[in-house]
Amino acid sequence: MKHDPLRAAFEIREQMSPLRRRLGFFCGAGTSMAVGIPGIDGLTISVSERLEGLLKEQYENIKKDITGNPNVENILDRIRIYRELIGDSEEKEIVGIKGATSVKNLDSVICQAISDIVKQEPQKESKPHLVFAQWLRALHSNRDFPVELFTTNYDLLIEQAMESASVPFFDGFIGSVHPFFVPESVEAEPSREGESIYPPRAWTRLWKLHGSINWHLPKDPTGTKGRVIRLSGAEIKKGEELAIFPSREKYAQSRKLPFITFQDRLRRFLSIGECLVIVIGYGFSDEHLNEIMFQGLRSNPHLTIIAFMYLPLIKEIIRYGEEYRNLTICGPDKMCIGGMVGPWSEPGRKQKQTDNWPFWDNKSKKFMLGDFNSFASFLEAFIGFRSSISDVLKNNGLPKDIQMPGSEGVQG
């Protein structure tokens, strides 16, 4: 069985068009790597290169203490377990880290190094993020439900793009001087009387599942940890910490609060009614987030997830698609839809000189939507274009009997 990339691209666009369907995006590290921000492996190396002396030695000792090929997030997770074990003692020592002050300092220095790395200017033009923001502004201001963006990235590329494109968005923080996190606002849903969602439904929602370089955990006047606040452009002060990456253990409840709330929001979003989620730049490497998505696929028959992969599909990724029929996986080499796996065929017709096909590379015969640059170009080609799929297929001389799981009965 082979899959036609042209048919698939048209059907993907049609899946994204209904205004009465919930629409979400799950953006992984690949969306930032598309403009030169390092991925998790590169970030792990870069953090090590920025550390010196005892801090570097402690970092490497922890890395050696973790089995497999640990990354900087695994190291942060382990450090926070050490913080739990050491508590307030200045005498306890674990893998060469002695005392509460030392382990807290290592945590803070690593988070600051991550911030310094990812907030640098992208090595490439950040056009895909801006195009994505323009698409949100052009097509989704009148949807019945707000578009919700879930991301594991720490950087501010999406925020900067949406501000540049004048896209109103809400990220769970409220305030002017020191915006603070309000979980009740994240959980807001339409009332039984059908009143507008608060904040307004035309506002895009942005949920940062792994934190952000502008989340600070300051001390309150009593000297204890306070609530998480958002401070863009502010330097971290002595005694403060950045809220990056959620610990798996019961550490710093005030730090964990946004992470728990956003994960619950993802779980709830996937469980409600007709819903389409586009996954891009994510390699299914976070088992906890994977399980939230798989739980949604199991429990909600009206949920469709379409995942665009940058690298060729490996057996483990294909297995997910075979197990969950409402999960469609599009790799550069093959596609898994409705549990059926097959390579890409030649497009149903030859590309004309006037055609803009960012989804297909004729030279390498690859499906390109796993590249965020190509995905943005795909959106750019359809900004302001609301024609039905039937008309599009008719105009291109293609049959209309191709459907992806979840498209049945969806009205535009």
Task: Give CA angle at 41 (35, 46), nearest 5°.
Answer: 80
Among 140-144, 204-208, 246-250, name the most confident range.
204-208
Statement to judge: residues 199 and 143 lie in one domain: yes
Please report which confidence band the pLDDT of residue 177 belongs to, taking 50, 70 and 90 as the band edges. Answer: confident
Asked, for residue 217, whether it belongs to a domain, the answer is no
Q: Which residues contact 49 (CB under 8 A, 6 or more apart)?
A: none
Statement to judge: residues 204 and 279 lie in one domain: yes
pLDDT for res 33: 93
Statement to judge: residues 156 and 296 lie in one domain: yes
Statement to judge: residues 22 and 134 lie in one domain: yes
Statement to judge: residues 157 and 16 lie in one domain: yes
pLDDT for res 382: 66
- Percent of the chain whose pLDDT exceeds 70: 82
Please report which confidence band the pLDDT of residue 247 belongs to, taking 50, 70 and 90 as the band edges. Answer: low
Model confidence at 250: pLDDT above 60: no
Statement to judge: residues 330 and 304 lie in one domain: yes
Statement to judge: residues 272 and 376 lie in one domain: yes
pLDDT for res 400: 42
Asked, for residue 77, whether it belongs to a domain, the answer is yes
Domain end point (choices 121, 137, 165)? 121
Q: Does the bond joining 190 to the residue before it have cis omega, within 30 degrees of 0?
A: no
Asked, for residue 307, whether it belongs to a domain, the answer is yes
Please report which confidence band the pLDDT of residue 240 belongs to, taking 50, 70 and 90 as the band edges. Answer: low
Instruction: Give the residue-averaged pLDDT of 212-222.
Output: 75
pLDDT for res 386: 41
Domain end point (choices 92, 121, 150)? 121
Statement to judge: residues 283 and 378 lie in one domain: yes
The enclosing domain of 391 has a CATH number of 3.40.50.1220
Model confidence at 399: pLDDT above 90: no
Are 259 and 228 contacting, i.e. CB atoms less than 8 angstroms apart? no
CA dihedral of 110, 115, 121, 126, whole degrees rounded to 10: 110
Instruction: Give the residue-averaged pLDDT of 404-411.
Output: 41
Q: What is the DSSP string of 352-364?
A: PTT---TTEETTT
Model confidence at 349: pLDDT above 70: yes
Statement to judge: residues 290 and 388 lie in one domain: yes
Asked, for residue 242, whether it belongs to a domain, the answer is no
Model confidence at 220: pLDDT above 80: no
Statement to judge: residues 84 and 206 lie in one domain: no
Domain end point (choices 96, 121, 146)? 121
pLDDT tens digits, 116-160? 888 877 767 668 999 999 999 887 667 888 899 999 999 999 999
- The answer to whether the pTM exceeds 0.95 is no
Model confidence at 390: pLDDT above 70: no
pLDDT tens digits, 360-377? 998 999 999 999 999 999
More confident residue, 391 or 53: 53
How high is the mean pLDDT of the chain?
A: 84
Asked, for residue 231, whether it belongs to a domain, the answer is no
Q: 127-130: long-range contacts at Cβ-Cβ below 8 A with a sequence spacing of 24 or more?
A: 127/35, 127/373, 127/376, 128/31, 128/34, 128/35, 128/372, 128/373, 128/375, 128/376, 128/377, 129/31, 129/35, 129/157, 129/158, 129/160, 129/161, 129/376, 130/161, 130/164, 130/165
pLDDT for res 332: 97
DSSP-derived secondary structure letter, 88: T
- Percent of the chain whose pLDDT exceeds 90: 50
Asked, for residue 400, whether it belongs to a domain, the answer is no
135 closest CA partner among 396, 386, 403: 386
Asked, for residue 379, whether it belongs to a domain, the answer is yes
pLDDT tens digits, 267-280? 999 998 899 999 99
Statement to judge: residues 43 and 176 lie in one domain: no
Asked, for residue 310, whether it belongs to a domain, the answer is yes
Instruction: Give the residue-averaged pLDDT of 181-199.
Output: 68
Range of the domain at 53: 38-121
Statement to judge: residues 187 and 58 lie in one domain: no
Number of domains present in the structure of the chain: 2
